[in-house]
């Protein structure tokens, strides 16, 4: 799984994700890269499921709760936008050589 994860085209995903955002900034790009690296570390360390849950909880706090308090559209809009972005990332397919046929 780690090898597949590392074959994901982070640059392309980051560009696509930022394109969907109304006011993307360099700090958003840095956050995406940081989250990618954190997840990579969890995979590399073969962390227990509890570590993934804790990481997800922290990610939602950073990306939804705190941003929702600052965003004029409020937390429901931020949560909906965050969910759409996560869905986009989850639907990203690995390179052809790594897909199961």
pLDDT tens column, 4-63:
877 877 788 777 777 766 666 777 778 888 888 998 999 999 999 999 999 988 888 887
Does residue 28 belong to any structural domain of this protein?
yes
Does residue 56 belong to any structural domain of this protein?
yes
Kindly report, residue by residue over 63-85, the tens digit of the pLDDT.
Answer: 777 776 766 676 776 777 677 76
Does residue 17 belong to any structural domain of this protein?
yes
Does residue 11 belong to any structural domain of this protein?
yes
Domain with 66, as residue range(s), is: 2-96
Does residue 101 belong to any structural domain of this protein?
no
Does residue 15 belong to any structural domain of this protein?
yes
Going by C-alpha positions, the residue among 87, 81, 95 that lies closest to residue 20 is 81
The predicted pLDDT at position 95 comes to 46
User: Distance (Å, rounded) from C-alpha 74 to C-alpha 67?
Assistant: 8
**DSSP structure class, residue 99:** S
Does residue 6 belong to any structural domain of this protein?
yes
Does residue 72 belong to any structural domain of this protein?
yes
| pLDDT of 86 strictly over 80 | no
Q: List all residues 6 or more positions away from 8 whose beta carbon is below 8 Å from its beta carbon.
A: 92, 94
Going by C-alpha positions, the residue among 18, 8, 14 that lies closest to residue 43 is 8
Measured CA to CA in angstroms, residue 44 lies from 10, 47, 70 at distances of 17, 8, 34
The predicted pLDDT at position 97 comes to 44
Domain count along the chain: 1
């Amino acid at each position: 799984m780690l090898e597949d994860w590392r074959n994901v085209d982070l640059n392309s995903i980051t560009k696509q994700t930022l394109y969907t955002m109304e006011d993307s900034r360099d700090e958003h790009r840095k956050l995406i890269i940081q989250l990618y690296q954190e997840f990579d570390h969890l995979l590399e360390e073969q962390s227990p499921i509890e570590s993934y849950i804790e990481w997800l909880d922290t990610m939602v706090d950073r990306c939804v709760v705190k941003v929702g308090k600052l965003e004029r559209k409020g937390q429901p809009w931020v949560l909906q936008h965050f969910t759409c972005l996560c869905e986009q990332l989850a639907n990203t397919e690995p390179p052809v050589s790594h897909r199961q046929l």
